[in-house]
């Protein structure tokens, strides 16, 4: 049983693989032969091995910094893009361990926040519904929140249900493009007229923008904050007329 809220480490397997690559490249950079010969091709092995070791170590380090500190700044940046009244009905798509759900719930008075997820372990360390429920309890927002196990691409909510829809680092985990487009269309469908969707991801945001525009939403992109997010996370704000 955890005693402190814990929002997990994003893409833990990617971080592990970067550290393994760095651990393999470093001894080659230090002790390997300076030149690698493949047939008539000669490659300077030390600069290549150093580049891999440095790139992988820095990438893993920045990803960990985002997971431990940057994600809270990024959450605040996303939430500050909406003028909260406290009465909103909010949906967090791919809530994971509840980062945005808890942030949104803190802004609510009579409103309610729902988080949906499929709880993929490889997308976030310790990703499980009961752990998210524990975070909600530790943050004192249980009464304002509901968690549901359901996929972004086939939501059970009625059309025009939510005033605010949030989603961070979720949609790229849907690897198949038609299903991702379906998830964006679901977001457009369950958003109320006059509502706002604030979505963030490190890639594919142009595809989300295009899909949401085709669904009739007005979309605006924001520059990523390179200091607090790694990989840099782009935010898109979509309003339903
Ligand atoms: C990197 S985590 C981010 C979690 C949270 N949004 C955050 O910022 O801390 C991505 C989340 O998306 C969820 N996810 C992946 N595919 C999904 C899908 N098709 N429908 C709903 N959630 C999904 C994963 O289970 C995971 O919890």
With a 6 Å cutoff on the Cβ, whether 120 touches ligand 1 is: yes
The answer to whether residues 27 and 136 belong to one domain is: no
Indicate the pTM of the whole model: 0.94
Mean of pLDDT values over 108-136: 97
CA distances to 34, 59, 83, 85, 105 from 108, rounded to whole Å, are 61, 36, 12, 7, 5
The answer to whether residues 59 and 88 belong to one domain is: no
The answer to whether residues 137 and 234 belong to one domain is: yes
**CA–centroid distance, residue 216 to ligand 1 (Å):** 25
With a 6 Å cutoff on the Cβ, whether 99 touches ligand 1 is: yes
The answer to whether residues 129 and 142 belong to one domain is: yes
Q: Give domain status of residue 2, yes or no.
A: no
Residue 1 predicted with pLDDT over 80:
no
The answer to whether residues 168 and 66 belong to one domain is: no
Position 167 scores a pLDDT of 98
Position 44 scores a pLDDT of 84
Position 45 scores a pLDDT of 87
The answer to whether residues 48 and 77 belong to one domain is: no
Position 8 scores a pLDDT of 97
With a 6 Å cutoff on the Cβ, whether 94 touches ligand 1 is: yes
Position 102 scores a pLDDT of 98
With a 6 Å cutoff on the Cβ, whether 168 touches ligand 1 is: yes
Chain centroid, CA 227 distance in Å: 16
The answer to whether residues 62 and 121 belong to one domain is: no
Position 159 scores a pLDDT of 98
Position 237 scores a pLDDT of 98
Tell me which residue range forms the domain holding 113. Answer: 73-239
Q: How far apart are CA 136 and CA 156, in angstroms?
A: 23
> Which residues, 6 or more positions from 230, have their beta carbon under 8 angstroms from its beta carbon?
59, 62, 63, 65, 66, 70
Mean of pLDDT values over 130-139: 98
Domain boundary among 47, 70, 93: 70
The answer to whether residues 111 and 56 belong to one domain is: no
Position 125 scores a pLDDT of 97
The answer to whether residues 63 and 150 belong to one domain is: no
The answer to whether residues 97 and 161 belong to one domain is: yes
The answer to whether residues 64 and 79 belong to one domain is: no
With a 6 Å cutoff on the Cβ, whether 124 touches ligand 1 is: yes
Position 7 scores a pLDDT of 97
The answer to whether residues 116 and 202 belong to one domain is: yes
Q: How many domains does the chain have?
A: 2
Q: Give domain status of residue 7, yes or no.
A: no
Residue 172 predicted with pLDDT over 80:
yes
pLDDT tens readout for residues 8-19? 999 999 999 999
Q: Give domain status of residue 3, yes or no.
A: no
Provide the 10 A C-beta neighbour count for residue 5: 16
Which atom from ligand 1 is nearest to the alpha carbon of 153? 19
């Amino acid at each position: 049983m955890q005693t402190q809220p814990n929002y997990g480490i994003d893409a833990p397997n990617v971080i592990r693989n970067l550290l393994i690559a760095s651990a393999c490249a470093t001894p080659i950079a230090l002790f390997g032969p300076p030149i690698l010969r493949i047939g008539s091709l000669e490659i300077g092995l030390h600069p290549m091995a150093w580049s891999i070791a440095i790139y992988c170590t820095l990438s893993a380090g920045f990803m960990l910094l985002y997971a431990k500190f940057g994600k809270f700044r990024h959450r605040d940046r996303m939430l500050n893009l909406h003028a909260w009244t406290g009465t909103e009905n909010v949906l967090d798509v791919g809530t994971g361990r509840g980062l945005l759900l808890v942030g949104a719930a803190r802004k609510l008075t009579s409103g309610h926040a729902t988080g949906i997820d499929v709880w993929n372990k490889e997308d976030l360390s310790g990703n499980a519904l009961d752990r998210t429920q524990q975070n909600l309890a530790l943050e004192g927002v249980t009464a304002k929140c509901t968690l549901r196990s359901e996929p972004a691409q086939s939501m059970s909510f009625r059309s025009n249900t939510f005033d605010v829809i949030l989603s961070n680092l979720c949609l790229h985990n849907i690897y198949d493009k038609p299903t991702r487009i379906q998830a964006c269309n679901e977001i457009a469908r369950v958003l109320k007229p006059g509502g706002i969707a604030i979505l963030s991801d490190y890639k594919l945001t142009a595809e989300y923008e295009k899909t949401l525009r085709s669904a009739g939403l007005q979309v605006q992109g924001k520059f990523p904050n390179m200091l607090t997010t790694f990989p840099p996370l782009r935010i898109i704000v979509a309003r339903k007329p």
